[in-house]
Amino acid sequence: MNSLYPLKFHPILKERLWGGTKLADQLNKPSTSDITGESWELSGVEGDVSIVANGSLKGSSLNDLIQRWGDDLLGKSVVDRFGKEFPILIKFIDAKQDLSIQLHPHDELARSRHNSFGKTEMWYIMDAEDDASLIVGFNQPMTKEQYIRSLEDKSLLEYMNYEKVKPGDTYFINTGKIHAIGAGVLLAEIQQTSDITYRVYDFDRRDKEGNLRELHTDLALDAIDFEQKDDFKVTYGRDKDEVNPMVDCPYFKTNYLNLRKDLLLDTRERDSFTILMCVEGDAVVANEEGSASLTKGETLLLPACSEKIEIRSTGCELLEVTV
pLDDT of residue 101: 97
Average pLDDT rounded to a whole number, residues 172-184: 97
CA atoms of 197 and 161, how far apart (whole Å): 19
Which residue out of 199, 205, 238, 312 is catalytically annotated?
Answer: 199
Mean pLDDT across 7-35: 97
Average pLDDT over residues 114-123: 92
Per-residue pLDDT tens digits for 54-97: 999 999 999 999 999 999 999 999 999 999 999 999 999 999 99
Contacts 24+ apart (CB under 8 A), 48-56: 48/12, 50/9, 50/10, 50/12, 51/9, 51/10, 52/7, 52/8, 52/9, 52/10, 53/8, 53/9, 53/10, 54/7, 54/8, 54/292, 55/5, 55/7, 55/290, 55/292, 56/3, 56/5
pTM passes above 0.75: yes
What is the set of domains in the chain, with CATH numbers?
Answer: 7-221 (2.60.120.10), 243-322 (2.60.120.10)
Percent of the chain with pLDDT over 90: 92
Q: Using one digit for the tens of pLDDT, what is the confidence trace for 194-206?
A: 889 999 999 988 8
Residue 199 appears among annotated catalytic residues: yes
Instruction: Flag whether pLDDT at 2 surpasses 80.
Output: no
* Identity of residue 274: T
Query: Under DSSP, is residue 99 helix (H, G, I), strand (E, B) or coil?
Result: coil
Q: Which stretches of the chain are DSSP H helices? A: 22-25, 62-69, 71-74, 76-82, 107-114, 144-152, 217-221
Q: Does residue 1 have a pLDDT over 60?
A: no
| Nearest alpha-carbon partner for 222 in 263, 176, 267, 271 | 176
